[in-house]
Amino acid sequence: MCWVCWTKLASTVLIPVVIGFATVLIYCKQLAINNKLLATDTKQLATDTKQLKLQYYDRRYKLYDSAREFLSIIIEHYANPPEIEKALKEYWRSCVRPSIFLFKPETGVSKYLEELAREVEKHRAKMDEILPEENGKSFKGASITKWAETEMTKLQEIFKPFLLIED
């Protein structure tokens, strides 16, 4: 065969085959790179999701702790209206207002936290009542302390589903 025939054969058959092979090779390499990036993105997404869950947990626990602290102050300082007033303002600021951003309305958590504050405001008006003596001591505001102790348990039950860490 002549040299011209070989060049025609090469240009019509071999060059498209080589180009096709190179294209398939580039496609395979690009696919491998994309799969690697996808795996990295998936791991990053999983890490970001865990971080978000931990941030929610931290913020929700702070609300729980703030509400628990508020009830503790009510129990300890029931006869000290200025202390109750101070605790009530702090409770609204640190617990009730932020709760609307951390809990969906249908959970009822924000509403419950607000009801705690409203109930303390109602009890404040009755704090001058003196209940009958018990063991030689008279107790002012005993009804609010009993109420607050009961609410401590209820608070834990309401927050429990939101503070369980699941893998």
- Which pLDDT score is estimated for 133? 45
- Domain positions in the chain are 59-163
Cβ(131)–Cβ(138) below 8 Å: yes
How far is residue 91's CA from residue 113's CA, in Å, rounded to a whole number? 9
Closest CA to 154 of 126, 122, 113, 124: 113
Cβ(110)–Cβ(99) below 8 Å: yes
- Which pLDDT score is estimated for 135? 42
Which tens digit of pLDDT belongs to each residue from 72-83?
A: 998 888 778 888
Which tens digit of pLDDT belongs to each residue from 3-17?
A: 777 777 767 777 788
CA distances from 163 to 58, 71, 91, 135, 148 (A): 9, 19, 20, 40, 21
Residue 50 in this model has a pLDDT that exceeds 80: yes
